[in-house]
Amino acid sequence: MRSSVQDIADDLIKLYADRQASPGFAFEKDSPEQQEFEAMFPYDETPDQLRAITEIKKDMEISRPMDRLLCGDVGYGKTEVAIRAAFKSAIEGKQVAVLVPTTILAQQHYETFRERFAGYPINIQSLSRFRSRKEQNETIKGVRQGTVDIVIGTHRLLSQDLIFKDLGLLIVDEEQRFGVTHKEKLKRLKTNVDVLTLTATPIPRTLHMSMLGVRDLSVIETPPENRFPVQTYVVEYSPSLVREAVEREIARGGQIYYLYNRVQGIQEMAAQISMLVPEARVAVGHGQMSEQELEKTILDFLDGEYDVLVSTSIIETGVDIPNVNTLIVHDADKMGLSQLYQLRGRVGHSNRIAYAYFTYQRDKSLTEVAEKRLQSIKEFTELGSGFKIAMRDLAIRGAGNLLGRSSMASSPRSASTCTRKCWRRKSRNGRYPCLASLIRWNHPGARRSILASTPIYRRITFMIVCRRSRFTKKPHPRLLSRMSPI
């Protein structure tokens, strides 16, 4: 445990030292083109949107690389904020990478960006399995040569063969959907590049880092007009409940999501729904379908050719259909709190009352954590609850291993415990280490930047005390006061 913490701590402190000491690109103040572009937005911005836009632009206009987390519910305008940041970068000749977790979300963002940037000489391309091999190769070549200004894609953006000519802004949508391996690959892009992360419910570790000050935080809490809270029910599963919910939604001309998060058995579940409601037109969608088949199913459902879409969690991000106002989740006790909240955000995008049913098997004994999750999703039903849900998830799961690879606290010997033990262990000559001795990189402003930064750097420093065991300098009293134990 200790060696793992020390290795990750070394990498993390080096990453943030590099970001603090390496000069980034300082963008210019808003140009007339930027003001014209923003004036073309067909809706009125909310106060939270305007504040977030101002904070992001301020970060982009200084030489220090931006690392900001933008937290806001589905439909609250995070994408428009990201689009304006992307325009600011692209109009000054800097490339933009938009990283998303699913092909469906990549396609939706691609269409949104193309529509929003219409009339401007900005080349926007997409990289996902919805694109042919030839199209992907052409996009990769354009990114390398600098002819592609904005590229939107899934994990394909993290491939070794994708080399940016002049990357200026990285936008990560739904960061909680990316695994540790993907985030490790992200580090090579984040040294001197502005980073904007979008999420409705940040994972506990990300939220904890924002609260500590490692990452800047902006929150959008103002709901759009004519938006109603989703009526949420946590109930035992029963066929009669499914039949009544489906029949009621079809009667008012709406559509239904039925989430069954197992590919094995999903066809049988669709057949069961067809037996319960014979008049319902049922479609099936999951990630193991071919891209053509999946795309056709989603588009047909969007066009109203089906009433019920039985799918896995691929609908969690990117599927925005205002006519869908009923959600039924099968075995909701097996899902995480943020995942349940994301799923509930798939409905209620119109002026109709939406319904969400989170079901669990009859007579099943739920775990304590599962009960807390279901109680939380039932409790937080008001608009803009994403940040509260994330805070509750932080309380349930713990802050996680801040310096390790785990995003939740799974063991009493977590990073914070190791931190305190590492700090108590003195070096061989009986002295506490001097912070200056811990920094072995040739950045002229690294020492000053870290000392002037947030308390997290002091905490990270504690993690590598054991590894740096040979210290000869007596620490300056002011340094020692800055490095006081946690």
Residue 146 pLDDT exceeds 80 = yes
Is 282 part of any domain?
A: yes
Residue 167 pLDDT exceeds 80 = yes
- The number of folded domains in the chain is 2
What is the Cα 439 distance to its own chain's centre? 31
Model's pTM, two decimal places? 0.68
Domain of 290 in residue numbering reads as 231-382
Q: 227 vs 115, 326, 354, 411, 454, CA distance in Å?
A: 24, 15, 10, 41, 38
Residue 157 and residue 28 in one domain: yes
Q: Identity (one letter) of the amino acid at 370? A: A
Neighbours of 183 (CB within 10 A): 16
Q: Can you name the residues that pair with 359 across neighbouring β-strands?
A: 235
Q: Would you say 1 and 413 are in contact if contact means Cβ atoms under 8 Å apart?
A: yes
Residue 74 and residue 191 in one domain: yes
292/29: higher pLDDT:
29
Rounded to whole angstroms, how far apart are CA atoms 58 and 66?
A: 9
DSSP at 312: -
Residue 134 and residue 245 in one domain: no
Give residue 129's pLDDT: 77
Query: What's the mean pLDDT when you consider all of the chain?
Result: 76
Structure tokens at 437: 């001795």
Q: CA dihedral defined by 57, 112, 171, 71, rounded to 10 degrees?
A: 70
Residue 349 and residue 267 in one domain: yes
Rounded to whole angstroms, how far apart are CA atoms 116 and 317?
A: 20
Q: Can you name the residues that pair with 218 across neighbouring β-strands?
A: 70
Rounded to whole angstroms, how far apart are CA atoms 134 and 111?
A: 20
Residue 157 and residue 265 in one domain: no
Sequence-distant (≥ 6) Cβ neighbours of residue 137 within 8 angstroms: none
Rounded to whole angstroms, how far apart are CA atoms 302 and 323?
A: 8
Q: Would you say 149 and 165 are in contact if contact means Cβ atoms under 8 Å apart?
A: no
Is 293 part of any domain?
A: yes
For 427, the enclosing helix (H) or strand (E) is none
Give helix then strand counts, H and E, for the chain.
19, 13
Largest Cα–Cα separation, the chain:
81
Question: Final residue of a domain: which of 174, 197, 220?
Answer: 220
Sequence-distant (≥ 6) Cβ neighbours of residue 127 within 8 angstroms: 106, 136, 139, 140, 151, 152, 153, 154, 156, 157, 162
Residue 190 and residue 242 in one domain: no
Ranges 89-93, 115-119, 435-439: which has the least confidence: 435-439
Give residue 67's pLDDT: 84
Residue 302 and residue 202 in one domain: no
Question: Final residue of a domain: which of 357, 382, 407?
Answer: 382
Question: Which pLDDT band, with edges at 50, 70 and 90, does 343 fall under?
Answer: confident
Max mean pLDDT among 65-74, 201-210, 395-404, 442-451 falls in 65-74
Give residue 371's pLDDT: 84
SS3 per-residue string spanning 242-287: HHHHHHHHHHCCCEEEEECCCCCCHHHHHHHHHHHCCCCCEEEECC
Closest CA to 89 of 137, 134, 25: 25
Question: Which pLDDT band, with edges at 50, 70 and 90, does 65 fall under?
Answer: confident
Sequence-distant (≥ 6) Cβ neighbours of residue 138 within 8 angstroms: none
Structure tokens at 327: 């959600």
Give residue 385's pLDDT: 59
Closest CA to 340 of 434, 220, 197, 232: 232
SS3 per-residue string spanning 136-183: HHHHHHHHHHCCCCEEEECHHHHCCCCCCCCEEEEEEECHHHCCHHHH
Question: Final residue of a domain: which of 335, 361, 382?
Answer: 382
Tens digit of each residue's pLDDT (9 = 90 or more) over 403-453: 444 444 444 344 444 444 443 443 333 443 433 333 333 333 443 443 344
Is 157 part of any domain?
A: yes
Is 395 part of any domain?
A: no
Residue 212 and residue 252 in one domain: no
Q: Would you say 64 and 20 are in contact if contact means Cβ atoms under 8 Å apart?
A: yes
Residue 195 and residue 269 in one domain: no
Give residue 214's pLDDT: 54
Is 425 part of any domain?
A: no
Max mean pLDDT among 34-43, 208-217, 228-237, 318-327 falls in 34-43
Residue 236 and residue 346 in one domain: yes
What is the Cα 325 distance to its own chain's centre? 24
Is 249 part of any domain?
A: yes
Residue 176 and residue 272 in one domain: no
CATH of the domain at 327: 3.40.50.300
Residue 40 pLDDT exceeds 80 = yes
Sequence-distant (≥ 6) Cβ neighbours of residue 156 within 8 angstroms: 127, 128, 136, 162
Give residue 410's pLDDT: 44
Sequence-distant (≥ 6) Cβ neighbours of residue 259 within 8 angstroms: 311, 312, 313, 315, 327, 328, 329, 330, 343
Rounded to whole angstroms, how far apart are CA atoms 384 and 267?
A: 35
- Which three-class secondary structure state does DSSP give residue 356? strand
Tens digit of each residue's pLDDT (9 = 90 or more) over 348-396: 878 888 999 999 998 888 888 788 888 877 776 666 555 555 555 555 5
Give residue 404's pLDDT: 46
Residue 166 pLDDT exceeds 80 = yes
Residue 214 and residue 244 in one domain: no
Question: Which pLDDT band, with edges at 50, 70 and 90, does 131 fall under?
Answer: confident
For the chain, helix, strand, coil in percent to 5 are 45, 15, 40
Residue 188 pLDDT exceeds 70 = no
Give residue 367's pLDDT: 82
Is 408 part of any domain?
A: no
Is 410 part of any domain?
A: no
115/443: higher pLDDT:
115
Tens digit of each residue's pLDDT (9 = 90 or more) over 245-297: 999 999 999 999 999 999 999 999 999 999 999 999 999 999 888 878 888 89
Q: Would you say 94 and 111 are in contact if contact means Cβ atoms under 8 Å apart?
A: no
